[in-house]
């Protein structure tokens, strides 16, 4: 397998900034953070299928060029599945954030959990 | 005679059947008695099927099914061995009891129309994690399970409770992305995602630092699902705001899925030479026990106290995994059997308390020993079992784990688990005094009705089951021992999966199927 430094750097940057966004106080940033992380994970899968240059599709036919290595089809199948699942989860997260925003009038976690942050059993009693 | 062709096809039943019933339930959009009955019958059928799997696996070996007839390294295999059978039985039993409790708690008309279908989809996802023999398929199973659990968690939540889904969601999203990356790394390291082939190839990687790194990542992903220290914070907040029957099912099953996968991955798939990882699991388990139980001290709501105790109990199971001997694995599996039933029953008790007193805040509850003595008896049995008093079911598991700790000379870990047990007992006493023994405070209703009596009956039945486990410990320990030996027998696992290839394509040798 050839050197894939650029893929590794890209994954690291995407994962790192995605994580940072995921744990931020604003919900919209969380959503974007999640999208970045799931794309970073998909990129990992792409990267492990090897260097894409000089490869042909993973079909075996009569006129297939000789000497060109085929693409490993399995990681691509994995990515397809992962994209579909990631889409469903992103849709759910969007709806949840929208609902919290309409219910509570805020998209900031500090405001949303303000009563718990002030602490005390009193706030929790109200919640129950 | 057999509508499924070969018996191996029955390995897919626990996944396909609940999904089918869920779709049937969705066809009837309004909750009705018929729908409830159908769901109940399907849970009972799954329970019977799981018991059959356990007996089949113990007598004739595990069921191995290649989905679509594809040979193991290329296709996906389902493996229903003893451990998977035990977990399937527990998941369907918990679903059965929680559904029954839900039927007693809510009148048919007021039930949320999506509750039963989502519960069934959740069960399908959970069951797939138990029977799958493929890492990526495990990822898909986790996602099916998590998506249904997100939905079920927020389904009946009000404006105040739905926010608690956000930490749960965020941490699990990060966990899922990590898991996907783990799948990628595994594929590049092993060239396969099939458990059996991973076992074969991991032997050639002994001592490779990449294998250790991969194992650390897996520990993070599955430790997060299990609620292991330091990845447990999402658990107490999100479990304490759900409706009682749903919370009981989550409390019983969802974290135990993480524990099961830890057993499967570290016991079967990864080589036993990763001793430093096992030490890490054991110490993280010790901290989980103590921190979980300490978190419960200041809490006043029954459901919140119990949620913290889940964290603490997870520590016991993970400690047994970390000790990593066949005896410790037997203890872990027996402890799971005990814990799932007891924990779900205790969550149902908190639901009953909330129904009887109008709240489960211990400052405002009371007088239930008079109003519902049978509920009190069931609670005492389960609470003492959770704390680990002999001869109840919790005692045997804890006893064996502590014995193994002594044998290995892990004095600090043993001391931690004893402290956790004593604090658990104190927490249970606090619930007993607050909800049952003391007189009801002014203005607290103590309303016993046919509905609450039916709820108590469900809990009492669960208490009887855990009594049977406690008194018949020998039989259950024999099953747990068989499951533990089978889990640690890596060569046997490979042989079983490869033998399934042989029966389908007798001309090909297993070696020739390697890519």
**Residue A66 — very low, low, confident or very high, per pLDDT cuts 50/70/90?**
low
Measured at the alpha carbon of residue A31, what is the angle toward residues A27 and A37, in degrees to the nearest 5? 135
> Any CB–CB contact under 8 A between B460 and chain A?
no
3-state secondary structure of B452: helix
Distance CA B146, CA B126 (A): 9
Tracing tokens 């499967």 back to the chain, one arrives at B264
Q: Which residues pair with residue B132 across a beta bridge?
A: B78
Residues in chain A closer than 8 A to B143 (CB atoms): 85, 89
Q: How far is A96 from B165, CA to CA, in rounded Å?
A: 9
Number of helical (H) and strand (E) elements in chain A, helices listed first: 6, 0
> Quick check: A71 and A58 in contact, CB under 8 A?
yes
Cβ distance B140 to A85 less than 8 Å, yes or no, reads yes
Q: Nearest Cα to B319, choosing from B358, B351, B279?
A: B279
Helix (H, G, I), strand (E, B) or coil at B454: helix
Inter-chain touch A45–B176, beta carbons under 8 Å: no
Q: Are B46 and B92 in contact (CB under 8 A)?
A: yes
Query: In this predicted structure, what is the pLDDT of residue A56?
Result: 61
Q: Does A36 touch chain B (CB under 8 A)?
A: no
Minimal CA–CA distance to B77: which of B496, B484, B492? B496
Are the beta carbons of A127 and B161 separated by less than 8 Å? yes
pLDDT at residue A128, rounded to an integer: 37
Chain A, nearest residue to B188 by Cα: A48
Residue B447 CA from chain centroid, whole number:
33
**For position A14, what pLDDT does the model report?**
94
Q: How far apart are CA B20 and CA B95, in angstroms?
A: 16
Q: Which of B393, B384, B286 is nearest to B334 (CA)?
A: B393
Residue B300 has its nearest CB partner, among A18, A113, A121, at: A121
Residue A113: exposed, middle, or buried by beta-carbon count in 10 A (0-12, 13-18, 19+)? middle
Structure tokens at B157: 């939540």
Give the integer Cα–Cα distance in Å for B500 and B320: 32
Residues of A in contact with B178 (CB under 8 A): 41
Identify which has the larger pLDDT, A71 or A41: A41
Q: What average pLDDT does the structure give for chain A?
A: 79
CB B262 within 8 A of CB B222: yes
pLDDT at position A64 = 62
Instruction: Say if residues B153 and B165 touch (Cβ distance below 8 Å).
Output: yes
Q: Say whether residue B233 is in contact with chain A using an 8 A CB cutoff.
A: no
Distance from CA of A100 to the nearest CA of B (A): 7
The position carrying tokens 């009563």 is A115
> What CA–CA distance (Å, rounded) separates A71 from A54?
9
- Residue B47 to residue A28: CA distance in whole angstroms: 43
Domains observed in chain A: 5-52+72-127 (1.10.287.3510)
pLDDT at residue A93 tops 50: yes
β-bridge mates for residue B134, sequence order: B194
How far apart CA A78 and CA B420 sit, in angstroms, is: 43
Tokens representing B229 are 């220290």
Distance from CA of B437 to the nearest CA of A (A): 22
What pLDDT shows up at residue B342? 94
Q: What is the pLDDT of residue A65?
A: 63
Check if B41 contacts A (Cβ < 8 Å): no
Test B187 with A78 for CB contact under 8 angstroms.
Answer: yes
- How many Å apart are CA A79 and CA A93, to the nearest integer? 20
Say yes or no: A79 contacts chain B, CB-CB below 8 A. no
3-class DSSP state for residue B362? Answer: coil
Residue B299: closest C-alpha in chain A: A121
Whether the CB-CB separation of B199 and B494 falls below 8 Å is answered with yes
Higher pLDDT among residues B71 and A35, named by residue: A35
3-state helix, strand, coil in chain B (%, to 5): 80, 5, 20
Q: What are phi and psi of B5, to 5 degrees?
A: 80, -115
pLDDT per residue of chain B (515 residues) written in tens, 0 to 9: 455 567 888 899 999 999 999 999 999 888 889 999 999 999 999 999 999 999 999 998 899 988 887 776 678 899 999 999 999 999 999 999 999 999 998 888 888 889 999 999 999 999 999 999 999 999 999 999 999 999 998 888 877 778 888 888 888 999 999 999 999 999 988 888 999 989 998 888 877 889 999 999 999 999 988 888 778 878 887 887 788 999 999 998 998 999 999 999 999 999 888 888 999 999 999 999 999 899 888 888 888 899 999 999 999 999 999 999 999 999 999 999 999 999 999 999 999 998 888 888 888 888 888 888 899 999 999 999 988 888 888 899 899 999 999 999 889 999 999 999 999 999 999 999 988 888 877 777 777 788 888 999 999 999 999 999 999 889 999 999 999 999 999 999 999 888 877 765 554 444 444 33
8 Å CB contact between B290 and B412: no
Q: Of A37-46, A49-58, B21-30, B251-260, which gets the smallest average pLDDT?
A: A49-58
Structure tokens at B204: 């050639």
Residue B230 preceded by cis peptide, ω within 30: yes
Q: Which residues pair with B77 in a beta bridge?
A: B66
Domain boundaries defined on chain B = 274-471
What's the gap in Å between the CA of B160 and the closest CA on chain A? Answer: 6
Q: Report d(CA B111, CA B89) in Å as an integer.
A: 26
Radius of gyration of chain A (CA): 22
Beta strands in B125-173 (DSSP E): none
CB contact under 8 A, B304 and A124: yes
Residues 1-20 of A with CB under 8 A from B: 11, 15, 18-19
- What 8-state DSSP symbol labels residue B65? E
Q: Looking at beta carbons, which residues of chain A come within 8 Å of B301? A: 124, 128
Dihedral sign, Cα of residue B246, residue B297, residue B465, residue B81: positive
Q: How many helices (H) and strands (E) does chain B have?
A: 21, 2
The H-assigned helical ranges of A66-120 are 73-104, 109-112, 114-117
Rounded to the nearest 10 degrees, how much is the dihedral formed by the CA atoms of B264, B267, B272, B276? Answer: 80
Using a CB–CB cutoff of 8 Å, tell me whether B449 touches chain A. Answer: no
Distance CA B231, CA B223 (A): 7
Q: What b-and-e string marks burial along B180-213, b requiring 16 or more CB atoms within 10 Å of the CB?
A: bbbbbbbbbbbbbbbbbbbbbebeebeeeeebbe
């Amino acid at each position: 397998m050839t050197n894939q430094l650029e893929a590794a750097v890209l994954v690291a940057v995407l994962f790192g900034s995605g994580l940072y966004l995921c744990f931020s106080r604003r919900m919209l940033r969380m959503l974007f953070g999640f999208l970045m992380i799931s794309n970073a994970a998909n990129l990992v899968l792409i990267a492990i299928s090897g260097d894409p240059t000089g490869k042909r599709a993973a079909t075996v036919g009569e006129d297939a060029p000789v000497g060109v290595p085929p693409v490993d089809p399995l990681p691509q199948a994995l990515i397809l599945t992962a994209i579909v699942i990631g889409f469903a989860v992103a849709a759910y997260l969007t709806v949840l954030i929208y609902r919290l925003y309409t219910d509570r009038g805020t998209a900031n976690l500090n405001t949303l959990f303000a009563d718990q942050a002030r602490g005390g059993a009193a706030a929790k009693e109200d919640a129950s | 005679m057999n509508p499924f062709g070969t018996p191996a096809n029955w390995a897919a039943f626990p996944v396909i059947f609940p999904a089918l019933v869920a779709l049937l339930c969705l066809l009837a959009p309004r909750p009705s008695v018929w729908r409830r009955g159908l769901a109940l019958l399907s849970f009972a059928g799954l329970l019977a099927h799981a018991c059959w799997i356990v007996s089949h696996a113990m007598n004739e070996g595990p069921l191995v099914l290649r989905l679509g007839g594809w040979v193991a390294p290329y296709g996906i295999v389902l493996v229903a061995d003893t451990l998977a059978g035990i977990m399937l039985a527990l998941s369907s039993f918990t679903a059965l009891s929680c559904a029954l409790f839900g039927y007693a708690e809510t009148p048919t008309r007021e039930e949320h129309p999506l509750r039963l279908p989502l519960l069934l989809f959740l069960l399908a996802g959970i069951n797939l994690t138990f029977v799958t023999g493929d890492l990526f398929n495990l990822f898909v199973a986790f996602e099916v399970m998590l998506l249904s659990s997100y939905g079920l968690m927020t389904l009946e939540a009000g404006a105040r409770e739905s926010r608690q889904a956000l930490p749960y969601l965020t941490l699990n999203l990060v966990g899922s992305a990590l898991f996907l990356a783990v799948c990628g790394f595994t594929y590049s390291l092993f060239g396969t995602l099939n458990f059996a082939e991973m076992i074969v190839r991991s032997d050639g990687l002994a001592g490779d630092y990449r294998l250790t790194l991969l194992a650390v990542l897996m520990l993070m992903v599955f430790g997060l699902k299990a609620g292991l220290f330091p990845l447990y914070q999402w658990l107490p907040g999100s479990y304490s705001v759900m409706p009682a029957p749903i919370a009981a099912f989550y409390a019983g099953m969802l974290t135990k899925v993480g524990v099961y996968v830890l057993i499967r991955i570290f016991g079967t798939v990864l080589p036993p030479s990763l001793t430093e990882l096992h030490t890490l699991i054991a110490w993280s388990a010790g901290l989980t026990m103590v921190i979980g139980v300490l978190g419960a001290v200041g809490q006043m709501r029954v459901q919140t106290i119990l949620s913290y105790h889940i964290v603490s109990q997870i520590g016991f199971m993970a400690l047994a995994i970390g000790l990593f001997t066949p005896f410790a694995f037997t203890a872990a599996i027996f402890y799971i059997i005990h814990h799932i039933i007891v924990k779900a029953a205790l969550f149902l008790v908190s639901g009953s308390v909330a129904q009887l007193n109008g709240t489960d805040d211990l400052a405002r509850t009371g007088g239930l020993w008079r109003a519902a003595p049978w509920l009190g008896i069931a609670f005492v049995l389960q609470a003492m079992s959770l704390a680990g008093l002999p001869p109840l079911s919790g005692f045997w598991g804890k006893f064996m784990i502590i014995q193994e700790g002594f044998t290995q000379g892990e004095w600090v870990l043993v001391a931690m688990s004893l402290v956790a047990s004593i604090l658990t007992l104190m927490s249970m006493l606090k619930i007993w005094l607050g909800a049952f023994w003391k007189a009801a405070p002014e203005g607290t209703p103590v309303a016993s009705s046919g509905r609450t009596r039916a709820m108590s009956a469900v809990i009492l039945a669960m208490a009887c089951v855990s009594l049977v486990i406690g008194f018949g410990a020998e039989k259950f320990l024999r099953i747990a021992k068989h499951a533990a030996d089978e889990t640690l027998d890596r060569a046997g696992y490979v042989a079983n999966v490869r033998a399934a290839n042989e029966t389908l394509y007798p001309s090909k040798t297993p070696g020739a199927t390697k890519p």
